[in-house]
Amino acid sequence: MNQDNKKYMENNISYDLNEHCLISPLDSESPLFEPKIRLGVLASGNGSNFEYIIKSIQNNQLNAEISILIVNNPHCLAIKKAIKYNIPYVIINHRDCQSRLEHDMLVLKKLEDLSVELIVMAGWMRIAGEELINRYINRLINIHPSLLPSFKGIDAIQQAIDERVTITGCTVHYVQKEVDSGSIIIQAAVPIQENDNKDTLTKRIQQMEHIILPLAIAKVAMNIRTGFRGNK
């Protein structure tokens, strides 16, 4: 994509970038790499980003395979999407664990047993522990609904509305110990309109999340394949 492009095709849906967002870096394209990257996806909620990763793979926009979906919530709607697309999944309920470390180690063991190369936190409502972060340096990424470093933590969209900013967005970043502090991989800026509420703004931000997350996965996968260290 370059600065002159006004439209972006996401799974055969065209978005007007002048209306919806500005993606940074502006020249973001999905890099080509071989062989396929083995993904582990962590999710806690609806699984919309999980589904768009699947669609990007199906549309040959992302050379990857999802080895496992891990959810910490047995009522997580992402499970239904895993069943729909025949993706292996496992429930590792944090409420069944005595500590955060115990839960992290169970997650880590499953990922390592399946030789997962890149972990994608897609609506994972858990803070990653040091064991997980240290084992997957430069291979653990998260998507957050704000233009980091603004509005870290929970309810970032409401934070942006409350602060009356005119632009917010979403960010894919490397995961580090401090929440939402890792190096930025890609961002999309989304204007806040006068009549926006949390629901309408969330919907527009999610549209851009669906675009930038597969791009970020491809960029990080390319770094893994070439041995480039992208995180600081």
Q: Residues with catalytic annotation?
A: 144
> Which tokens hold the place of 45?
């909620």
How far apart CA 69 and CA 156 sit, in angstroms, is 25
How far apart CA 220 and CA 232 sit, in angstroms, is 13
- How many C-alpha atoms does 39 have within 13 Å on its Cβ side? 26
Q: For residue 134, count other CB atoms closer than 10 A to its CB.
A: 11
> Which tokens hold the place of 126?
């858990």
Residues ≥6 apart with Cβ < 8 Å to 1: 8, 23, 26, 27, 28, 29
For 31, counting Cβ atoms within 10 Å of its Cβ (0-12 exposed, 13-18 middle, 19+ buried), the class is middle
Contact (Cβ atoms closer than 8 angstroms) between residue 70 and residue 107:
yes
Question: In 3-state terms, what secondary structure has residue 148?
Answer: coil
